[in-house]
Amino acid sequence: MSGNWLYFGDNLSVLRRHVKDASVDLIYLDPPFKSNKAYNVIFKERNGAQSKSQIEAFRDTWCWDQAAAEAYEDLVVSGPEEVSRLMQAFHQFLGPSDMMSYLAMMAPRLLELRRVLKATGSIYLHCDPTASHYLKLLMDAVFGTRSFQNEIIWYYRGGGLSKARWARRHDVILMYSQGGAFFFDPDAVRDEYAQSTKERFAHYIGNVRKGHDFGVQRLHPEGKHPDDVWMVPIVAPSARERLGYPTQKPEALLERIIKASSKPGDVVLDPFCGCGTAIVVAQRFGRSWIGIDITPLAINAVRSRLEQTFGPGVEYEVDGLPKTVPDAEKLAQEDRYKFELWALGLAGASEQREKKKGADRGVDGRLYFYDEGPNAKAKQIIVQVKSGHVAPSHIRDLMGVLDRENAQIGVYVTLKQPTKQMRAEAAAAGLYTSPVSQKKYPRIQILTIEDLLKGGRINYPAGTRHLRRPAPRGNKEREAPERLV
Beta-bridge partners for 5: 290, 317
What is the C-alpha to C-alpha distance for residues 445 and 459, in angstroms, rounded to an integer? 8
pLDDT tens-digit series, residues 259-315: 999 999 999 999 999 889 999 999 999 999 999 998 887 888 898 889 889 998 899
357 conformational bin, left if phi > 0, alpha if psi -120 to 50, beta if neither: beta
404 contacts: CB under 8 Å, gap ≥ 6: none
**The pLDDT value given to residue 246:** 56
What residues does CATH 3.40.1350.10 cover in the chain? 325-466
Is the torsion defined by CA of 137, 142, 145, 147 positive or negative? negative
**260-to-30, 190, 226 alpha-carbon distances in Å:** 18, 9, 10
Is 5-189+227-319 a CATH 3.40.50.150 domain? yes
Average pLDDT, the chain: 83
**The pLDDT value given to residue 41:** 35
Beta strands in 49-169 (DSSP E): 57-58, 117-127, 148-155
**The pLDDT value given to residue 360:** 55
pLDDT tens-digit series, residues 157-179: 876 677 888 888 899 999 999 99
What is the C-alpha to C-alpha distance for residues 81 and 133, in angstroms, rounded to an integer? 20
pLDDT lower than 50: segments of the chain: 1, 35-61, 354-359, 464-485
Choices 3.40.1350.10, 3.40.30.10, 3.40.50.720, 3.40.640.10: CATH for 325-466: 3.40.1350.10
User: DSSP letters of 220-281?
Assistant: -TT-BPP-SEEE-----TT-TT--S-TTPPPHHHHHHHHHHH--TT-EEEETT-TT-HHHHH
**The pLDDT value given to residue 98:** 86
pLDDT tens-digit series, residues 308-350: 899 988 999 999 888 899 999 999 998 888 899 889 888 888 7
What residues does CATH 3.40.50.150 cover in the chain? 5-189+227-319
